[in-house]
Amino acid sequence: MSRTGPLTKDTTTVALGLAQVRIGLASTYIGQRRAILPASASVGALADTKIVGNVDFFKLESGFPLQEDAIFPLREAISLELSFKEITPANVALARGLNPSNYASVHSGEIPLGTMATPTFLRLEAIYTYPDGVNTLKIIFPRMQVAASLEMDFQMEDVLAVPIVCESKRADDAISGGHVIWNGAPLGIITWDDATGTTTTSSSTTTTTTG
């Protein structure tokens, strides 16, 4: 008897586990389209990572009774939600919308309270390695801001995990702080790197080789 249902086509494409999240200053790396942040820029251990892409659509209807003819996108937003476990000055600064690179020590620093201002524009790179340990998926927000209310819920028998939301913002050259290389992908890109070093972007059907 032949098997039916959604059979696995390629086991190397199944995702399991969390992505590593790296944070840098947007202005420093705005001209870079590939993942460039070092592993040292990682926020460390995470409890979860979740990509959320929201699109609002207008539905065109006609006739009686009304039936849908088409839908048109009205607005698009994409964000990465994560909860970090390592409670360092840099990570708490990130949750407050500050530049985490200003905090080098893991056990020394000060975060001022009652001084909320426009969150710093940062660069986010989420590096996910497939279970085969070779192939990767990378999500790049070249210009993002953290939108979150700080919540640190200490538990008696569980590790503290602080949730934050990293919202991608426009990075094209029509906005101050943007760059021309993002004109075709103003909110960033999703790329896949295979074992040969070939990168394919979600914003183009062109395959390029990374250096």
Q: Give the domain ranges of the chain.
A: 14-49+84-209
Q: Does the pLDDT at position 2 exceed 70? A: yes
The pLDDT value given to residue 199: 60
Residue 41: what residue type? A
What is the C-alpha separation between 163 and 48, in angstroms, rounded? Answer: 9
Q: CA of 202: how far to CAs of 32, 44, 155, 205, in Å?
A: 16, 27, 40, 7
Q: What's the distance, CA 152 to chain centroid? A: 22
Identify the band that residue 200 occupies on the pLDDT scale cut at 50, 70 and 90: low
Instruction: Give the burial string for 179-207 (b: 16+ CB within 10 Å, else e).
Output: beebeebbbbbbbbbeeeeebebeeeeee
pLDDT greater at residue 45 or residue 207: 45
- Based on the number of CB atoms within 10 Å of its own CB, is 111 exposed (0-12), middle (13-18) or buried (19 or more)? middle
